[in-house]
Chains A and B, each alone.
Chain A
Amino acid sequence: MSQSGSRTAGSGVCAGYIFDNASQNPTKLMPVTDSPVNATLRKVAVIGNPNTGKSTLFNALTGMQSRTGNFPGVTVEKKVGRLHIENHIVDLIDLPGTYSLSPRTPDEMVSVEVLLGRQPDVGEIDAVVCIVDASNLERNFYLVSQVLDLGLPTILVLNMWDVAQARQVSIDVEGLRQRLGLQIIVCEAHRRMGVHELRQAIIHSDSLITPERPKPFPEKFYSECKLLEKTLSALGSRKLPFYIVERLLIDVGGYVEKQLADQHGELLTSSISGARTRLKESGCRVPMVEAKARYKWARETLEGFASAPNTRVSTRSDRIDRVLTHRFIGLGVFAAVMFVVFQAIYTWSGPLMDTIGSGQDVAANLISANVQPGPMRSLLADGVVAGVGGVLIFLPQIALLFFFIAVLEDCGYMARAAFVMDRLMTKLGLSGKSFVPLMSSFACAIPGVMATRVIENRRDRMVTILVAPLMSCSARLPVYILMTTAFVPPVMYAGGWVSLREIVLFVMYLVGIVVAVPVAWLLRKTFFKGETPPFVMELPPYKWPSLRIVMARVYDRSKAFVVRAGTLIFATTVLVWAAGYFPADHNELHGLQSQIENTEARIEQLDVQSDHEESKLATAELAGLIEQQNQLSSALIETSFLGRMGHAIEPVVRPLGWDWKIGVGVIASFPAREVIIATLGTIYSLGGDVGEEDASLTEQLRAAKHADGTPVFNVAVACSIMVFFALCAQCAATLMVIRRETNSWRWPMFTFGYMTALAYIGALITYQVGMLLLT
């Protein structure tokens, strides 16, 4: 055990902690040269336990100046923020919150690779900032001991100082600093206390000294590591960092062992198991030895420098919790909170979405007024404006959901929500953390999928992402409403309290949930096999959420959606527009459009002149022209690529009770489900401006006949369409968000494939059974 620092009493522990930072000899921190002419870029990694305020601190340090992306090949988010002060440029790399650095999966390995400078897209790391919860030092020092084992210059941040004070934990910062030989900064990130000092420390981190490694293990362990190192070099391996060799020996079945065993085979595995047996014989059982050794180190290191009262001080947070996790009240509060969140994304987002919709109309009208009818106008109005609108329309829901998630997370309730719901979610093979993402998906799968970031376990997260689109989102509602109002008779039951239409609607919402259960189960048994991940979770203390942090989160998520998924959603919309527009001769249609616009202008003029006779005639003429235009549009879509595809898939969709027109509607609604209504409007010669409650569309659908005179639609067809839309993945935006969140094209393709297959089978069964019942 390193006992290098002599124990000095240190300055006043609690009272003077700000001065503790300031009073440090500044020359120790300053770079040797006063102002280097050529600033070099340095890289500093930020690591810490979950719930230590790490992201808050990261945002406070870098402001809005961070770039988010993914580390290649894994689902881990890569967040890099640049500090540029005077002549110093530092890239801060935010690593995911973790309790330990013992990698079992490729995702967990990323943090180790970054810290050891082995991650190619990051490069060499110059220093590491390790953030700990000052009120819970012992547990946090487990990770600290691993970080120190990496042998990097380290800055230790004691965050949540206020919580530590509330718990009457007293910490001798100066003493700890000397014992560990580290720079220590005290922070309250949510109040921006200590942030300036930390930024200075990071800027001047080039002058930090690498601290002594803790070496918590028995001597025998290190000699076995050395032996293993020799074996590796004999096998022709390049020199590995010592920390990797330690992991190779400790982590039974861990990621390092698997990787190196693949490379070196039998010879290596036998020497590893030999080493483990010898260690066991000497009383040093691998892998148990690590927890014991590191916690022993943590306790001995903190001994005399940090002390908590013998009985835990009951804070306001504890008293709040007694109510919020209470057997009855707890469930009630939970239901109320979830109701508000759901209501917000389902209902409150409505006016905002309407505003975006009318903005779209204004833009389309502006284009119509200024661009002559032709391909250009169609591209701008129906392709570009629809594409941009198709991206922006999701922003209110994303912003609102992340507003609530950020508030709930920042105040500490999110962990309780998972705690309360875990029992129920384990029945689905998921954990309590999947509840909020799945519930949000009933409003919209896009924020739902984005919200799965809270689930650290990759398997749980992937399964949640893949079943989230099955939840009946608000975009399905227009389809359900159109089909039920047109084909489900308005029968009332229970003395007028329940209508058959409401029952059908409810069943449609149920379909997604009922299907999601076996799908989640199957995914767990196939692609995401393995033991159920432990639900080992810390319940952090409550605190007031900070508006700045919440807003930063909302901005960050919205920006990520628009930038990363928006471009692809836009491209898909334009592509589908082109498929519906080409190939066709639009000259006649454009001529008609010009005529309609001229007539409209004439009517306006006549009305101003109060020439009612002429105005009436012109209005009649206009109606005829519009009728002609609608018929022509309908004919043109039939000859377009889209129409041809509709005809081509007709044999496939026949067993579902559909004709080619419905086929076209389904293909055209690939960017978004609700598009089918406008497409059906166009095909049934009503123009594209119809809504789900449009009486003329309802009538047209009821009147539609096959060539042999039988009606196209009946209850069975309507139900088959609804079931198809309940289960299909006709939402480009969701698929693009899945692509972004999983960092691979494989999963959106898989989602689209499995959901389309389910939708087809579901619709097939619905139609065939329906027809049996009808006849």
Chain B
Amino acid sequence: MTTLDLLNEGQKARILDVSGEDAIAIRLMEMGLTDGEEVEHLGCAPLGDPIEFLIRGYRLSLRSTEASRVIVERIV
């Protein structure tokens, strides 16, 4: 178990949960980050943050602080 911001480039993971019930958690879930979904880390911005992910077939960028709210398990 780890969080989304700790994935390496190219790694895939399955979402277990989104922590918190605030606006950020809700927004993350509204964007499709719900449990059971598969996510792929596509790369970072030139300055290291935000991070780009592939979720539900589209490309989403998240700051690492937001990505750390998403609890995932790595898919090997």
Does B6 lie at the interface of the complex (its beta carbon under 8 Å from any beta carbon of A)? no
Most interface-central of A288, A326, A334 (chain B CB within 10 A): A288
A423 at the interface (CB under 8 A from B): yes
B61 touches A537 (CB 8 A): yes
A539 touches B59 (CB 8 A): yes
Closest to B40 in A: A312
Contacts of A328 in B (CB 8 A): 46
| Proximity string of chain B (54-69) to chain A, C-beta cutoff 8 Å, 1 when within and 0 when not | 1011111111001000
Whether A536 and B28, one on each chain, are in contact in the complex, defined by CB atoms closer than 8 angstroms, is yes
Contact of B59 among A102, A138, A538 (CB under 8 A): A538
What count of chain B residues pass the 8 Å CB interface test? 33
Residues of chain A within 8 A (CB-CB) of B61 are 415, 419, 535-539
Partner of B34, one of A102, A167, A295, A538: A295
User: Would you give the shortest CB distance from B71 to chain A, in whole angstroms?
Assistant: 13
Closest B residue, CB atoms, query A318 = B59
Instruction: Check B57 against A308 for contact (C-beta < 8 Å).
Output: yes
Dominant secondary structure at the B interface: mixed
CB neighbours of B63 from chain A (8 A): 422, 426, 534-535
Contact assessment for B23 and A422 in the assembled complex, using a CB-CB cutoff below 8 Å = no
Contact B46 A535 (CB under 8 A): no
With A136-B58, A325-B52, A535-B66: A424-B47 Cβ-Cβ less than 8 Å = yes
B32 touches A295 (CB 8 A): yes
Are A330 and B57 closer than 8 Å at their CB atoms? no
Q: Say which residue of B21, B32, B35, B66 sits within 8 Å of A534 (CB atoms).
A: B66
Chain A residues closer than 8 Å to B22, beta-carbon distance? 531
Nearest-neighbor residue (CB-CB) of B48 within chain A: A423
Instruction: Return chain B residues, CB-CB under 8 Å to A334.
Output: 46
Take A325-B45, A534-B63, A539-B61 as given contacts and tell me if A291 and B23 are in contact as well, using a CB distance cutoff of 8 Å.
Answer: no
Least CB distance from B65 to A in Å reads 8
Bound-complex Cα distance A531 to B60 (A): 21
Task: Let me know if B28 and A539 touch, CB within 8 A.
Answer: no
In the complex, what residue of chain B is closest to A105 when comparing beta carbons?
Answer: B23
Whether A419 lies near B52 (C-beta < 8 A) is yes
A210 CA to B68 CA in the complex, in Å?
Answer: 42
- Name the distance in Å between B9's Cβ and chain A's nearest Cβ: 11
Q: When chains A and B are docked, how far (Å) is the Cα of A143 from the Cα of B50?
A: 25
Assess whether A239 is interfacial by the CB under 8 Å rule: no
In the complex, are the beta carbons of A139 and B23 less than 8 A apart? Answer: no
B57 to chain A, nearest CB (A): 5
Contact with B along A504-547 (1 / 0, CB 8 A): 00000000000000000000000000010111111100000000
Instruction: Check if A536 sits within 8 Å of B60, measured CB to CB.
Output: yes
On whether the beta carbons of B52 and A102 are closer than 8 Å, the reply is no
CA distance A312 to B55 in the complex (A): 11
**How many whole Å from B11's CB to the nearest CB in chain A?**
15
A100 and B30: CB pair below 8 A? yes
Q: Which residues of B contact A252 (CB under 8 A)?
A: 21
Interface residues of A in 316-344 (CB under 8 A from B): 325-328, 330-331, 334
Minimal beta-carbon separation of B66 from chain A (angstroms): 5
Residues 247-263 (chain A) with a chain B CB within 8 angstroms: 252-253
Q: Tell me the bound Cα distance from A142 to B34 in angstroms.
A: 12
CB contact under 8 A between A139 and B58, given known A291-B29, A422-B63: yes
User: A519 to nearest B CB, angstroms?
Assistant: 23
CA distance in complex: A539, B54 (Å): 10
* Interface contact A138-B26, CB-CB below 8 Å: no
Closest to B29 in A: A291
Give the CA-CA distance A142 to B55 in the complex, in Å.
14
A577 CB to closest chain B CB (Å) equals: 49
A531 touches B21 (CB 8 A): no
Contact A423 B49 (CB under 8 A): yes
Q: Of B28, B50, B57, which is within 8 A of A419 by CB? A: B50
- Assess A325 versus B32: contact at CB under 8 Å? Given A534-B23, A536-B60: no
Known A-B contacts A328-B46, A534-B27; A539 and B62 likewise in contact (beta carbons under 8 Å)? no
Give CA–CA (A87, B14) in the complex, Å.
55
Choose one: B23, B30, B31, B47; the contact of A420 (CB below 8 Å).
B47
- Residue contact B34 to A537, C-beta cutoff 8 Å: no
A292 at the interface (CB under 8 A from B): yes
Which single member of A136, A287, A533, A534 contacts B57 (CB below 8 Å)? A136
Which partner residue on chain B sits nearest A530 by CB separation? Answer: B23
Query: How many angstroms from the CA of A424 to the CA of B63 in the assembled complex?
Result: 12
A-chain residues with CB within 8 Å of residue B18 when the two chains form the complex: 288
Q: B59 to chain A: which residues have CB within 8 Å?
A: 538-539
A residues in contact with B29, CB < 8 Å: 288, 290-292
Instruction: Decide: A139 near B46, CB < 8 A? Known: A287-B26, A538-B59, A539-B59.
Output: no
- Chain A's closest residue to B35 (CB) is A292
Docked pose: A260 CA to B63 CA in angstroms: 34
Contacting residues of chain A (152-173) with chain B, CB-CB under 8 angstroms: 167
Asked if B31 and A536 make an inter-chain contact with CB atoms under 8 angstroms apart, the answer reads: yes
Which residues of chain B come closer than 8 Å to A135, judged between CB atoms? 57-58
Measured in the bound complex, the distance between the Cα atoms of B48 and A330 in whole Å is: 12
In the assembled complex, which residues on chain A have CB atoms less than 8 Å from the CB atom of B54?
Answer: 312
Kindly state the separation between the CA atoms of A287 and B18 in the bound complex, as whole angstroms: 12
Minimal beta-carbon separation of A632 from chain B (angstroms): 61
A295 vs B48: C-alpha distance in the bound complex, in angstroms?
31
Which residue of B34, B44, B47, B62 is within 8 Å of A291 (Cβ)?
Answer: B34
List 27 contacting pairs A-B, 8 Å CB cutoff, sorted by A: A99-B30, A102-B26, A139-B31, A139-B56, A142-B32, A253-B23, A287-B26, A291-B30, A291-B34, A292-B34, A295-B34, A308-B57, A325-B43, A327-B46, A415-B61, A419-B45, A420-B45, A422-B47, A422-B49, A424-B47, A534-B24, A534-B28, A535-B63, A535-B66, A536-B60, A536-B61, A539-B61
B-binding residues in A (CB < 8 A): 99-100, 102, 104, 135-136, 138-139, 142, 167, 252-253, 287-288, 290-292, 295, 308, 312, 325-328, 330-331, 334, 415, 419-420, 422-424, 426, 432, 531, 533-539
Interface residues in chain B, defined as those with a beta carbon under 8 Å from any beta carbon in chain A: 18, 21-24, 26-32, 34-35, 43-50, 52, 54, 56-63, 66
- Extra contacts, 12 of them, besides A292-B29, A424-B47 (Cβ < 8 A), are A138-B57, A252-B21, A253-B23, A325-B45, A334-B46, A415-B61, A420-B45, A533-B23, A534-B27, A535-B62, A536-B62, A537-B50
